Amino acid sequence: MNKTIELENRYCAYNYHPLPVVLTRGEGVYVWDDASNKYLDMMSAYSAVSHGHAHPRLLKALQQQAAQLAICSRAFHTDKLGPFLKKVCELTGMDKALPMNTGAEAVETAMKAARKWAYKVKGVLADRAEIIVCTGNFHGRTIAIVGYSSEPQYKDGFGPFPVGFKIIPYGDITALEKAITPNTAAFLVEPIQGEGGIVIPPANYLKKAAELCKQHNVLLICDEIQTGLGRTGKLLACQHENVQPDGLILGKALGGGLLPVSMFLAGREVMDVFTPGDHGSTFGGNPLAAAVGLEALNVLMEEKLAEHSAEMGAYLLDKLRLLKSPLIKALRGKGLFIGIEIDPSKAKAREVCERLMAQGILSKETHETVVRLAPPLVITREQIDWAVEQIDLVLKEMSRVRATG
């Protein structure tokens, strides 16, 4: 075994099952391992590297700010936070933002905001507020969040869990309507489920959900940690249905692939329930994160990465549909957020990913059945053509091996 992998296995908790490759460098859509082998990155760190690895403008912003002022906590004002939050609020149509670091922290922030809004504004009796979530959801790994997961492994051994959550089938608008009560504070939903296997709900699902929430004075909170900032071909995935949510959660790509940066955004009525001391984060909104986050947004807009994602995503899906492999059960995607569902009776998605790695493509399986394709948004047609050739080669070889026993 590789000595670096041995060292990591010895000292690191076994909470991941990585592919057996040691990455040491990245640039654009490519990464290199410790043996100087080159790979096309079709994962983008779960959409965190949407701008590509080592984007020169983002590196410059990081280096300049790190040399000036990196961390000072929100105990003081800085010259970087205001411009960053102004930009993201203007782009998303929100009034205010609360900056955090990781996606899970931003989700926890959204839940706290929803509950306090329910008590202070909507008039729900103390400790009775409910938040509705969906089966197949993935909002993070905290105790509260895994408590309302429908994935048994995420919950196994971690209870007891907080109460106040209802789980309904994803994509079922009738189930949402039935679940809403006078105590419902919010409906928390991913416009497209990423970790669930790139699951796209029925057309107009989000739009109908928004109408229901407005009718019943319930907050619609969209978790766009993975789908946001151009990944699906729009700045936000909810914009595919012209939906303006009451609350929005961003992360991953917000840090430009360099830092953990996240936030919860909402209208004033929701965000103004917070007062000093209610919530906070030592690193949330630090000047280094704000400088990089602002430049990440500028690059996203100036380089038209959302538009490029729409064009290249449609191209990639069209190319994949030409593959006639019996191993492919389904293809799903929007923009550069695509899942190849592998027929579990014929092959395992993990094996597909391992064989793709040998061909110079890095991806990762989801729930043992889906190969996720989410490359940096700067990928070109030529790079897509090459990637599809490798995918075709791998699937044909796997089919041939199975056919010959």
Interatomic CA distance for residues 397 and 388, integer angstroms: 14
Question: Domain spanning 3-54+305-403 has what CATH number?
Answer: 3.90.1150.10
pLDDT tens, position by position, 170-185:
999 999 999 999 999 9
- What's the average model confidence in pLDDT over 389-403? 91
For the cut 90, the answer to whether the pLDDT of residue 368 exceeds it is no
Q: What is the pLDDT of residue 401?
A: 79
Q: What is the pLDDT of residue 14?
A: 96
Catalytic residues: 138, 223, 252
pLDDT tens, position by position, 78-93:
999 999 999 999 999 9
pLDDT tens, position by position, 94-118:
999 999 999 999 999 999 999 999 9
- What's the average model confidence in pLDDT over 238-265? 98
Q: What is the pLDDT of residue 1?
A: 80
Q: What is the pLDDT of residue 404?
A: 76
Question: Domain spanning 56-302 has what CATH number?
Answer: 3.40.640.10
Contact in structure between 234 and 93 (CB atoms under 8 Å): no
Question: What is the strand order of the sheet 130-134 is part of?
Answer: 96-100, 262-266, 247-250, 219-223, 184-189, 130-134, 165-168
- Residues above pLDDT 70, as percent of the chain: 100
**Average of per-residue pLDDT values in the chain:** 97
Q: What is the pLDDT of residue 66?
A: 98
Strand partners, 330: 341
- What's the average model confidence in pLDDT over 152-167? 96
pLDDT tens, position by position, 113-130:
999 999 999 999 999 999
Strand 361-362 versus strand 38-41 pairing type:
parallel
- In the chain, where the domains are located: 3-54+305-403, 56-302
- What's the average model confidence in pLDDT over 376-386? 98
pLDDT tens, position by position, 287-340:
999 999 999 999 999 999 999 999 999 999 999 999 989 999 999 999 999 999
Q: Is the pTM higher than 0.85? A: yes
3-class SS letters over the chain: CCHHHHHHHHHCCCCCCCCCCCEEEEEECEEEECCCCEEEECCHHHHCCCCCECCHHHHHHHHHHHHHCCCCCCCCCCCCHHHHHHHHHHHHCCCEEEEECCHHHHHHHHHHHHHHHHHHHHCCCCCCCEEEEECCCCCCCCHHHHHCCCCHHHHCCCCCCCCCEEEECCCCHHHHHHHCCCCEEEEEECCCECCCCCECCCCCHHHHHHHHHHHCCCEEEEECCCCCCCCCCCCCHHHHHCCCCCEEEECHHHHCCCCCCEEEEECHHHHCCCCCCCCCCCCCCCHHHHHHHHHHHHHHHHCCHHHHHHHHHHHHHHHHHCCCCCCEEEEEECCCCEEEEECCCCCCHHHHHHHHHHCCEECEEECCCEEEECCCCCCCHHHHHHHHHHHHHHHHHHHHHHHCC
For the cut 70, the answer to whether the pLDDT of residue 405 exceeds it is no
Interatomic CA distance for residues 372 and 320, integer angstroms: 13
For the cut 90, the answer to whether the pLDDT of residue 20 exceeds it is yes
- What's the average model confidence in pLDDT over 54-75? 97
